[in-house]
Amino acid sequence: MSSYAEIARRRKRARALYLELRALGLDVWVEEDPDEPLNFRVVVGGLRSLSPAHADRVVRRVRGNEAGLARVLLGGPWNPDLTAIRQEGRCS
């Protein structure tokens, strides 16, 4: 079981990554995918606007934070300022 501190770190990392992706002009959403272990996948649109090396780094970071990003996007109960994050994403 994860400690509260570890969960809080993951939450902050996922929120920061989401905001970074939106600031880059990328679209981020969740799709159901029964072939994946968690039954979903996080999709990032607009990667072609980045250099191949940058896009590769973004994809690796998204894969490493997939569960946290999904909770940010789906409104997980542990994310009290989801509304602010979504509004920030719409402003970019």
Burial class (CB in 10 A: 0-12, 13-18, 19+), 18: buried
> What are the tens digits of pLDDT across the range 42-89?
999 999 999 999 999 999 999 999 888 988 888 765 444 555 555 565
pLDDT given at position 61: 95
Q: What is the pTM (predicted TM-score) of this model?
A: 0.72
The domain total for the chain is: 1
Which structural domain, as residue segments, surrounds residue 55?
Answer: 4-91
Is 30 in contact with 70 (CB distance < 8 Å)?
yes
